[in-house]
Amino acid sequence: MTADDLVELRRDLHRRPEPAWREFYTTARLVEELDSRFGDALDELHVGPDAIATDHRLAVPDDAELTHAFERARETGVDEDVLESLEGGYTGAVAVLEKGDGPTVGLRVDIDGLPRQESDDPDHEPVAEGFRSEHEGAMHACGHDAHATIGVGVLEAITESDFEGTLKVFFQPAEEVIGGGKSMAKSEHLVDVDYLLATHIGLDHPTGEIVAGVDGFLAVSHLEAEFTGEPAHAGGRPEQGRNAVQAMATAVQNLYAIPRNSDGPTRINAGIVEGGSAANVIPESASIMAEVRGETTELMEYMVDNAERVVESAAEMHDCEVEVELGAQAPSATSDQEIADVVEEVAGEVEGVENVLERDELGGSEDATFLMREVQQNGGLACYVGVGTDHPGGHHTATFDVDEPSIGHGVETLASAIERIACERP
């Protein structure tokens, strides 16, 4: 079902996963692919700083990390001109195809990897088939390699179709850190979009299953706490220290214990923590990179308020200072029924698709919500489509993988939906 060349693209991207704002190779590789496939057929191709609202990037890593990733990308021999335009962490691209008179339909796919080590189990497909991550400590553990590939596949399918109107494919960076959605939502390219589709593979749905309209996006906020105490010799003068690691540990214990809320689901995770400098020094500094979520913005704020109080009291308890910074936040969003109806209809006709669910809850967060809400506030319609894939490990785990035929299901379902939307203008 999936053309071999799409599989090849996906595996190439898989081999070089790049976390948020470091998608240098990925962007350049996609540009190369689009150029070679469509050449002049593509009406516009906006790359890097031209693709996004540069003021609205969130959670950009520090220069050292950007440079490291940039140099690594350079060594692959990818197009130097494209690469240079991305320098400083301006990644992503927007491809525009104009095919006659009709509405403007957008498709948003995300392209970043995760900072985690991929499994080296010989039974893990990417190991067995030789396309395991070559980037130490990074992995496509959430299927964005397949998403980017679907974006390319849909462009191709629409090129060859009877579609009338304009198709814009948004290759969005930095989804995993809630960092890129806003910058794409605020770019000029989204302003005239009438209909927006976004998509995700997997989500515990098996290959052959499509979810026409995904909902249940939790609002999310990042929260970073930096504790500062006072060092001291741990053997000689422990009482002269003010222990930032004790403050951090107290905070972690109590963050997870924030009361459940009867108004709806909430989440909390102290995802990255660190502290201290040497075994024999009372730790002077420690930090927590946390995120909280809620079914609604109110519930997310309930979690933020509680988390801030916990962190501040934990610092005070150990006579430390703390700086709390709220990071990137993404809102909640809802798939419009009109589009979900179209997707449901066309998905049933795709070869290999055996089951179509009308609705399902995500229960997680996604910064596609920035784009969905932007389009909806402009009077347009938006829908988030789930494409089932058998995945051996869960999302974000070392053995996550995509069952490749599902890439084809995604391409066909989305392309058909885009055609139908342009035709029916729901």
Give the nearer residue to a second copy in terms of CB position, either 14 or 222: 222
| 242 within 8 A of 320, measured Cβ to Cβ | yes
For 39, counting Cβ atoms within 10 Å of its Cβ (0-12 exposed, 13-18 middle, 19+ buried), the class is exposed
How far, in Å, CA of 387 to CA of 125, rounded? 20
**Residue 33, annotated ligand binder?**
no
Residue with Cβ nearer a second copy (45 or 58): 58
> Would you say 223 or 342 has its CB closer to a second copy?
223
C-alpha–C-alpha distance, residues 393 and 395, integer Å: 7
Report the nearest approach of a second copy to the CB of residue 295 (Å): 11
Q: How far is the CB of 5 from a second copy (least distance, A)?
A: 30
396 is in an annotated binding site: yes
Cβ-contact 418, 168 below 8 angstroms? no
Cα separation, 395 vs 203, whole angstroms: 7
Containing H/E element for 376? helix 368-377
How many angstroms separate the CA atoms of 227 and 148, rounded? Answer: 39
**Min CB(76)–a second copy separation in Å:** 23
Distance in angstroms (rounded) separating the CA atoms of residues 397 and 385: 22
Which residues are CB-contacts of 246 (< 8 A; sequence separation ≥ 6)? 283, 318
Residue 165 or 283: which CB sits closer to a second copy? 283
| Residue 142 annotated as lining a ligand binding site | yes
Q: Could you tell me the smallest distance in angstroms from the CB atom of residue 228 to a second copy?
A: 11
Look at residues 187, 99, 144 and name the one whose alpha carbon lies nearest to residue 396: 144
CB of 248 to a second copy, least distance (A): 8
In terms of CB distance, is 100 or 238 closer to a second copy? 238
Beta bridge partners of 326: 223
14 marked as part of a ligand binding site: no
Identify which of residues 166 and 365 has a Cβ nearer to a second copy in the complex.
Answer: 365
Residue 352 beta carbon to a second copy: minimum distance, rounded to whole angstroms: 25
Known binding residues: 142, 144, 176, 200, 396
Known binding residues for Mn(2+): 142, 144, 176, 200, 396
